[in-house]
Amino acid sequence: MSCVFCGGAPVTKEHVFPQWLNEHLRPGRQRTEQARYGNGAYDKTRETVGLDFTVKKVCAPCNNGWMSQMEVASRDVLTPLITGQDLSLISLPQQRQIALWATKTAMMADQTQHTPLLPSHHLRRLRTHRAIPGGTRVWIGGCPQREPLVTSLTVKVDLTNVSAPGSPQPVGFYCPMKIGHLCLYVYFPAVDVVIQHAREFHLSVARIWPRRSSTLPFPPPVQPQDGEAFEYFADALQESLYFYTPEEAAQHRLKES
């Protein structure tokens, strides 16, 4: 097997969630959760010492090189959002760094699937250009309950009404994750679409990729209250998403103007 990011070999085990998060775990054993959908699906809740979600699909040069550098660059902006709920202002560069980290982490979560959904060229461009795939949306939210420290889901989504008649049904990939108080929702569409969520979520999540035009206050005023509520909220957000082709989006804007 070759590295999913560079094609090199041999591959080693890589943690889906970085090991520096272990500093924020409670002492001793704690509950960690992960769910996966599709072939080989599972929904796990188990006791662990430290975060142990790993995949053996990344080579040591990538693991110890650009991926490690991304963790170092992301840690300072992520830590206060993970560990507390004091009001913060997230700048445009910080929004991009969080979105970049969320994209890399979602890609690693996808690699836990029996058949990963994201095309290999997306992973390779993340390595070579730190490029977030076109059309990707990343939203940020919060949760008052810090535990469990990490909860993640990977969801395959069939995109309806956005493909030409007779063409294969495109598939999107959705990965919401709760890391302490920080909640991130990453969506990779398989086709060129415009994505909007329902108005009822406007006070709960804010888009950080593509970036907003100004600094972003965090945490949001409305939040799922605990880890279980986060899972229900993540599902509801995904089910609320509207998908438009670029042509439909342009027509929609004309009607509103």
Distance from C-alpha of 92 to C-alpha of 214, rounded to nearest angstrom: 7
Tokens of 237: 């957000």
User: What HEC string does the chain produce?
Assistant: CCCCCCCCCCEEEEECCCHHHHHHCCCCCEEEEEEECCCCCEEEEEEECCCCCEEEEEEHHHHHCHHHHHHHHHHHHHHHHHHCCCCEEECHHHHHHHHHHHHHHHHHHHCCCCCCCCCHHHHHHHHHHCCCCCCCEEEEEECCCCCCCEEEEEEEEECCCCCCCCCCCCEEEEEEEEECCEEEEEEECCCCCEEECCHHHCCCCEEEECCCCCCEEECCCCCCCCHHHHHHHHHHHHHHCEEECHHHHHHHHHHHC
- Per-residue pLDDT, 167: 55
Alpha carbon distance 98, 124 (integer Å) = 19
Residue ranges of the domains in the chain? Answer: 11-256
pLDDT at 16: 87
Q: Could you give the dihedral angle defined by the CA atoms of residues 17, 21, 103 and 42, in that order, rounded to the nearest 10 degrees? A: 30
Q: 189-232: per-residue pLDDT in tens? A: 877 777 888 899 999 999 999 987 789 999 999 999 998 899 89
Ordered per-residue pLDDT tens for the chain, 257 residues: 899 999 999 999 888 888 898 888 766 555 555 555 555 555 666 566 667 778 899 999 999 999 999 999 999 999 999 999 999 999 999 999 999 999 999 999 899 887 888 999 999 999 999 999 988 999 999 999 998 888 888 888 776 665 555 555 567 889 999 999 999 999 998 777 778 888 999 999 999 999 877 899 999 999 999 988 998 999 999 988 887 766 665 665 566 55
Contact 161, 98 (CB under 8 A): no
pLDDT at position 85, please? 92
Position 81 scores a pLDDT of 96
**Can you give the pTM of this predicted structure?**
0.89
* AA letter at 92: L
- Look at residue 52 in the predicted model and tell me its pLDDT: 74
Bridging pattern class, strands 54-59 and 206-209: unpaired
